Amino acid sequence: MNTPEIKAFIRKHSDLFWYIPEDRKEDISMDVLVEFILNYGDLQTVKELFSIIGVDTVAEHFFNSINMSQRRRGNYFEATINFFTLLFERYAHRGFN
């Protein structure tokens, strides 16, 4: 269950979740939220996500997702994987590799 702050964030950026029905958007998983924001969000949206749930939490969901399977990894653009892998390896402090 998403917090009210995350639900407000999803509503604010609901256009990024175009194929999810309106009545289900606020209940998306954290993995889906992170995937869509990193793939389709602008810099300000990514920074806002970092401030809500933290860089380490975003990194954890990102690495779990791309390491889970080739299919899940395929949900991310190659440029997104490259950029955020470099960013999280430098700025996330839990060692998710």
pLDDT in tens, 7-45: 999 999 999 999 899 999 999 999 999 999 999 999 999
pTM of the model: 0.90
CA pair distance 16, 10, nearest whole angstrom: 9
Q: Quick one: CA dihedral 62, 87, 1, 40, positive or negative? A: negative
> How far is C-alpha 64 from the chain's CA centre?
11
Give the percent of the chain with pLDDT over 70.
96
Using DSSP, state whether 56 is helix, strand or coil: helix
CB atoms within 10 A of CB 17: 20
CA pair distance 11, 59, nearest whole angstrom: 22
| pLDDT tens-digit series, residues 35-75 | 999 999 999 999 999 999 999 999 999 999 999 888 778 89
> How far is C-alpha 48 from the chain's CA centre?
11
